[in-house]
Amino acid sequence: MKKIIPILILVSIATYSFAKSKKIIDAKTDAIFTQYCSSCHGEKIEAFVDRKWKYGTTKVDIVKTITNGAVDAGMPSWKNTLSSKQIDNLANQIVKSLANVDQYKFSSKPKTNIFKSGSMNLKLDTVATGFDSPWGITQLPDGQLLVTDRAGKLYKIDQNKQKTEIKNTPKALSKGQGGLLDVEIHPQYASNGWVYLSYSKYKEDAGATWTTTALVRGKIVGDEFIESKEIFEANPYTKTTHHYGSRIVFDDKGYLYLSVGERGKHFEYAQGTENDLGKIHRIFDDGRIPEDNPFFGKAPNSQTLYTYGNRNPQGLTQHPITKEIWEHEHGPRGGDEINIVKKGVNYGWPTISYGINYDGKPITNLSKKEGMEQPIHYYLPSIAPSGMAFVTGDKYPSWKGNLIIGSLRFNYLERVVLKENKVLENYKELLNIGRMRSVKMGQDGFIYIGVENPGMVFRLIPLSK
């Protein structure tokens, strides 16, 4: 394949990373917002401000709107309820929270494929191009990559960057957020050759198209996917074409974990344990169900269910030291979460959330509730996370042990510094390189990422100074 120089390296950006701003919420003002504003605007000011503003975003504009109201939008005047000082404090807080949103407005594009991160220089090396959306990436023991394209194709990329389509993969519905999604190989791939694919399965019934998340395994011989067998199918099917989840990860005990989104049905499935949607599932490598799953043998519960109350998990990985499974999931407007996967735990969606609905109205006024797990970290505003890996090995010394996550919304790599499962700092890396769909640590110790618009796969190479 002819080497193609990506368009993104021809345009300019500042190649630096910086820590996420600290939250700046005044307790008294926050209490006023909760008492008077949250029923219409949601619990968190930081989520509420991430919107299109009809009446202006300067402090003067905001004070005027709160004071006089906005009749056409159904907002009452607050001048007879709140003091001028309280209104002023609310306006100040909103302006500060708007600055938190503005930190993601990167002004320009990269003009070079060399990026700086602290003491490291990093080269973005183009591995393959010509994708719609490189949704999943995994590396074979011989160094070749397997890459899924959401458009419905699986590719093998050799060490000379030649891209070969693998035929006979399952037929996916490439519509909305659906298509051929994640790919992973068996931990003993060298001896058994098993490859796992998640995808949006569909069927036609009564004149309608119904879809779900499914998982197959098979083997690649030459350029064909053979011995394909379905080992998981989420039920029920829905008519929606989004929130499939679909990330795959193996732990070191022989279990396979698969995420399934709630299919955009906010209030119907995630809190129920009798269905497969809005869940993390755990099975054996051949689809058998572990008898120690939390609802095994408890009809009519979902037997493969391992956690529930999850919205749309598009990141799933194992911690290299603790061996715990970590996941991240999309919130609505605000409230993207990082969680540690725990057996039988309810992660709360949609009963609790730090986000609000896309129309600006609250989904829930609760962010905490007894019996529901809190995230170890949440994002306001939403970064739209996709792909997730822990940095291991010695190629990226200042990143070692960090969690890296792709941002679809803001087109960068989120780097999370952790200590004892707590987030210390967040850094933005590789600014504006594209909608980052997939993030993977290769067996060769390099980080691989996939971006959309245009669809490309890159390897991140550390350079000596």
* Maximal C-alpha separation, the chain: 76
Which pLDDT tens digit goes with each residue over 185-241? 999 999 999 999 999 999 999 899 999 999 999 999 999 999 999 999 999 999 999
- pLDDT average, residue stretch 62-68: 94
Tokens of 365: 């006024």
Of 54, 38, 57, residue with least CA distance to 105: 57
Q: What percent of the chain has pLDDT over 70?
A: 94
- pLDDT average, residue stretch 51-63: 91
Tokens of 357: 């609905």
Q: Is 11 helix (H, G, I), strand (E, B) or coil?
A: coil
Tokens of 48: 């509420």
Q: Is the pLDDT confidence value at 372 over 60? A: yes
pLDDT of residue 16: 39
CA distance 352 to 369: 7
CA distance 326 to 422: 13
Q: Is the pLDDT confidence value at 25 over 70? A: no
Confidence of residue 10 (pLDDT cuts 50, 70, 90): very low
CA distance 114 to 169: 36
Q: Is the pLDDT confidence value at 68 over 50? A: yes
Tokens of 423: 């987030």
Which pLDDT tens digit goes with each residue over 409-462? 999 999 999 999 999 999 999 999 999 999 999 999 999 999 998 999 999 999
DSSP letter string, 24-59: ---HHHHHHHHHHTHHHH-S-HHHHTSS--SS-SSH
Q: What percent of the chain has pLDDT over 90?
A: 81
Q: Is the pLDDT confidence value at 24 over 70? A: no
pLDDT of residue 465: 60
- pLDDT average, residue stretch 74-101: 91
DSSP letter string, 176-219: TT-SEEEEEE-TTHHHH--EEEEEEEEEEETTEEEEEEEEEEEE
Catalytic residue among 186, 243, 281, 328: 243
Confirm whether 377 is a catalytic residue: no
Which pLDDT tens digit goes with each residue over 380-413? 999 999 999 999 999 999 999 999 999 999 999 9
Q: Which residue has the higher pLDDT, 324 or 44?
A: 324
pLDDT of residue 192: 98
Which pLDDT tens digit goes with each residue over 267-326? 999 999 999 999 999 999 999 999 999 999 999 999 999 999 999 999 999 999 999 999
Whether cis (ω within 30° of 0) applies to the bond prior to 110 is no
pLDDT of residue 266: 87
> How many Cα atoms are found within 13 Å in the side-chain-facing hemisphere of 383?
32
pLDDT of residue 43: 85
pLDDT of residue 20: 43
